[in-house]
Structure 1
Amino acid sequence: MPLSPLAPRRTRTPRPPVAGHPAQLVGDTPVLWVDEPFAPPGRGFHAKLEGANPGGLKDRPALHMVREARRRGDLAPGAPVIESSSGTLGLALAGLAYGHPVTVVTDPGLEPPVARLLTALGARVVRVTAPHPEGGWQEARRTRVAELLARTPGAYCPDQYRNPDNAAAYRPLAAELIAQLGRVDVLVAAVGTGGHSAGISAALRETCPGLTLIGVDAVGSAIFGQPAGPRLMRGLGSSIHPDNVDYAAFSEVHWVGPAEAVRACRCLARRYGVSGGWSVGAVALVAGWAARTHPAGTRIAAVFPDGPHRYLHTVYDDDWCRDHGLLGSAPPTEPDDIAEPDARVVTRWTRCARVRDPLARALAKAGAR
């Protein structure tokens, strides 16, 4: 059941009434109760609205990684920061906040409004033009980052895919959830770099040791053992295997397709006036399923990473969605099930209750030969 709106819990680190620094605009985000049409009345989930941050969820790790790099001396005052990104604004905000020129290496999928916002925040945007033959766009971006670092003296790369500061940045978010909800029994989180699912779940388990973590991935993503393939959905999924993914922390994983995410995003917008992008739709779909299938009284938290604005020309554009075959057919109301993450290639919402590190499995097979 939702918490009483008459007695809201405060977070332990509220935003100041007047921010004196851009970093103080991040955190202390609200929680929204969501049930119908995703779950029956009273059997819903609590959505953590990270779109209330200036640039969304990634503001938290971007600020934390830059702060920690400065503290350790890895990043000198005023030195350039270069990173691969699908287009989130967090690193540009961190550069603005701490006085570092930022270069964001992205790909042709970056939405034009986001490119303009990045430029407005002072970031330089560099696009790769062709995917890597094995690692797709993400590996192509990482290769370009390495090239830029080699010819930019003093430049620093946070390397969000492998930097433990990425996961550590989410401890305050976990503290906010405990302060807001009292406890969390199930956490539903999208997985891209692996940072927020690992960081939030690890911190929550210090208070809620029985926490169940449900991962949400994209069809076509390689993170959990599926073959990498083309993906319309940005912000979750990966063609590479980020070191920050804590495979042992997950109880299960769901892959969600773009048509399913679009419908969920639009349902959220019509019913609650709050929505977001691909990750938000996918997470809402899976969190609603968790609310329907777990016992009554289970307290479910779902992380909504962003708001809808960067997706107005994709998720919320009827012509774009029709061109990509995302409208017209009724999406599934329940996931398919597979016994092993690589049992078959999934093309729609699918669930697997067994999670393992696909790289560890590949190494074990190679060693047995």
Structure 2
Amino acid sequence: MTTAFLPALAPNRELLALIGRTPLARITTALPRRHPGFWAKLEGHAVGGMKARAAVSMLLGAEERGELLPGAPVVESTSGTLGIGLAFAGQALGHPVVLVGDTELEPSMRRLLRSHGARLELVDTPAAQGGWQGARLEKLHDLLGRLPGAYWPDQYNNPDNTAGYASLAAELATQLDHLDILVCSVGTGGHSAGIAGPLRRHWPALRLIAVDSTGSTIFGQAAAPRLMRGLGSSIHPRNVAHRVFDEVHWIGPAEAVDTCRRLARGNFVSGGWSTGAVARVAAWAAASHPGAAVATVFPDGPHRYLGSVYDDDFTAAHHLDPRLAAGEPVDIPHPRAAHAGGWARCTTVTDPSAGHPGGQP
């Protein structure tokens, strides 16, 4: 990439009026067991995607503190979804955006990011420590040294990421009469931390369930190669508020694929890996707690995943047979306990970087 010249952008702040106000859908199809139904906030309908909320919050915060100067470039690591949000925020606020992805990033997502004006740099080898995330961060730091005045939002540790989801919490509080259980996917930790506090102030007895990916280290499991993108992590983001979760579930790719396809066939609304993971757990929660009001957030729609989640050749190549997907979680006694299969659950939540149990705030 030529770093000497990044064209300036004229801000288009009228775009900011398009953020949020996404619909709420009632999900009743069996996933795979029958359940009374749960609510799903369809963030895939948002202009710029769910993470436009966080992206705008991070850039506005940096502008206000003088860390991001007018027209200065923004550089960030992404597996795709935040990249779309940053491309939106860059256009709205007048900042060229440089994104560091990896060669696992779908060709359709690469084209989409570039079509929205983002510069895309790809790494082709996972790091020995930190996997693809580690490799992207190494490349990111190299770019920061070659782009004078560039700003790195650092989505994993930036509290403005979390603050950006206050609007999502406010919308849920308005759209729902009551809420007993909230199910959240966890990657950077931004949206779960950002909505948990406001919603618990609204409904103090709210129970919060985290959904992670098998092979992710966020809640103490050993690192392993991860096929799913958008949830899970090979590092320990500081934005993850371990203390607010009452339990954690780890979902595998076969379970996510089965759920996404069932959603598409039976409820029309669906999405990708994170959507499949949270929907399966939300259906389980609704069935396990009769009479409870359960809600979750579907972070995106299905279009990015037509060549993976919804492609039979892809699932066959990766040995993902939806017919063999786990229909119930296996309970494990501690987050560090090894488990077999594609779905595990633990009611003890710990912060592996601090070594202390989580709990209600």
TM-score by length of 1: 0.90
1:48 aligns to 2:10 (yes or no): no
Q: Secondary structure at the match of 1:206?
A: helix
Cα deviation, 1:266-309, whole Å, max 9, x if unaligned, reads 1111111111000000000000000001131x111101000011
Q: Secondary structure at the match of 1:117?
A: helix
Aligned pairs for 1:28-39 within 5 A: 28-38=21-31
Cα separation, partners in 2 of 1:328 and 1:175, compared to 1, 3 Å: closer
Do the aligned residues in 1 keep the contact of 2:71 with 2:94 (CA within 8 Å)? yes
Which residue does 1:330 correspond to in 2?
Answer: 324
Q: Secondary structure at the match of 1:332?
A: coil
Which residue does 1:318 correspond to in 2?
Answer: 312
Do the aligned residues in 1 keep the contact of 2:13 with 2:93 (CA within 8 Å)? no
Q: Distance in 2 between matches of 1:324 and 1:135?
A: 22
Do the aligned residues in 1 keep the contact of 2:332 with 2:339 (CA within 8 Å)? no
Cα separation, partners in 2 of 1:278 and 1:21, compared to 1, 3 Å: same
Greater shift after overlay, 310-319 or 54-63? 54-63
Structure 1 runs not aligned, ≥5 long: 1-18, 363-369
Which residue does 2:343 correspond to in 1?
Answer: 349
Q: Distance in 1 between matches of 2:259 and 2:297?
A: 14
Do the aligned residues in 2 keep the contact of 1:174 with 1:204 (CA within 8 Å)? yes
Do the aligned residues in 2 keep the contact of 1:35 with 1:44 (CA within 8 Å)? yes
Q: Distance in 1 between matches of 2:161 and 2:340?
A: 29
Do the aligned residues in 1 keep the contact of 2:326 with 2:341 (CA within 8 Å)? no
Q: Displacement of 1:103 after TM fit? A: 0.5
Q: Distance in 2 between matches of 1:328 and 1:264?
A: 8
Q: Distance in 1 between matches of 2:341 and 2:125?
A: 24
1:22 aligns to 2:23 (yes or no): no
Counterpart of 1:162 (choices 144, 157, 164) is 157
Which residue does 2:80 correspond to in 1?
Answer: 87
Aligned pairs for 1:1-369 within 5 A: 21-38=14-31, 40=34, 43-88=36-81, 89-296=84-291, 298-327=292-321, 329-361=323-355
Greater shift after overlay, 184-193 or 324-333? 324-333
Q: CA RMSD in A?
A: 1.5
Letter in 2 for 1:351: R
Letter in 2 for 1:147: D
Do the aligned residues in 1 keep the contact of 2:254 with 2:322 (CA within 8 Å)? no
Q: Distance in 1 between matches of 2:131 and 2:328?
A: 30
Do the aligned residues in 1 keep the contact of 2:39 with 2:295 (CA within 8 Å)? yes
Q: Distance in 1 between matches of 2:249 and 2:282?
A: 10
Do the aligned residues in 2 keep the contact of 1:188 with 1:216 (CA within 8 Å)? yes
Letter in 2 for 1:349: W
Cα separation, partners in 2 of 1:345 and 1:141, compared to 1, 3 Å: farther
Q: Displacement of 1:54 after TM fit? A: 2.2
Q: Distance in 1 between matches of 2:203 and 2:258?
A: 32
Q: Displacement of 1:20 after TM fit? A: 7.6
Cα deviation, 1:130-180, whole Å, max 9, x if unaligned, reads 111111111111111111111211100100000000111111111101100
Do the aligned residues in 2 keep the contact of 1:132 with 1:139 (CA within 8 Å)? yes
Cα deviation, 1:237-290, whole Å, max 9, x if unaligned, reads 000000000010000000000011001001111111111000000000000000
Q: Displacement of 1:345 after TM fit? A: 4.3
Do the aligned residues in 2 keep the contact of 1:227 with 1:345 (CA within 8 Å)? no
Q: Displacement of 1:182 after TM fit? A: 2.2
Q: Secondary structure at the match of 1:254?
A: strand
Q: Displacement of 1:90 after TM fit? A: 0.5
Do the aligned residues in 2 keep the contact of 1:56 with 1:307 (CA within 8 Å)? no
